[in-house]
Amino acid sequence: MVPKRAQLFVYDNDEHCEEVRKFLEDAGVLLKIRDIKNDPFSYNELMDIVGYLHIDHFLNKMSDAYTKQKLDKAMPPREEMIQLILKDQSLLRVPIVKASRLITIGYDKKKISDMLQINNGEGTVEEPRNIGSRYRVPKSKVHNRKRPAVSN
């Protein structure tokens, strides 16, 4: 089986980021880790991460910068918000897990597990159910059924 790959965007020394990193590594996910405090996003990188999603999903409402910028009172237009994030990336909610075109923001192991289709540590990965024909032959009849004669 090919190992899963993901990018993990974190703040260095953040316990939630560290816990998600360990969770993903224990699940066998190959990670490319980036500390966004020491290596901040460029405009193009941030736009690639945010895409067409609502910017509110990415905001760390617990950060000092959020209240300092008075974002709890009024939200500026999207482009202005992008510029604020570029100036102070502590406005970003982390960890951010990105795999291909999929992204999960924050510390939610269930969402991360669902996105990457990995075992979330709470049991086994759910097996797909047989959703074939609604007319099923009982097993006892399948084994006792006579096969038709084949003519040559």
Pick the closest to residue 49 from 109, 4, 8 (CA basis). Answer: 8
| Domain coverage including residue 119 | 5-123
**How far is residue 37's CA from residue 63's CA, in Å, rounded to a whole number?**
14
pLDDT over threshold 50, residue 117: yes
144 domain residue, yes or no: no
Residue 135 placed within a domain: no
Place 106 in a pLDDT band, splitting at 50, 70 and 90: very high
Domain assignment of residue 15, yes or no = yes
- What is the phi-psi region of residue 110: left when phi exceeds 0, alpha when psi lies from -120 to 50, beta otherwise? alpha
Give the end-to-end CA distance of the chain in Å, rounded to a whole number.
44
Q: Which residue has the higher pLDDT, 124 or 146?
A: 146
How many distinct structural domains can be found in the chain? 1
Could you tell me the pLDDT band of residue 34, with boundaries at 50, 70 and 90? very high
147 domain-assigned? no
Please state the rounded mean pLDDT for residues 77-96. Answer: 96
Asked whether residue 128 is domain-assigned, the answer is no
CA atoms within 13 A on the CB side of 152: 0
Tokens of 9: 């965007």
**Residue 146's pLDDT is what?**
58
Q: Tell me the CATH number at 35.
A: 3.40.30.10
Give the pLDDT score at 3.
81
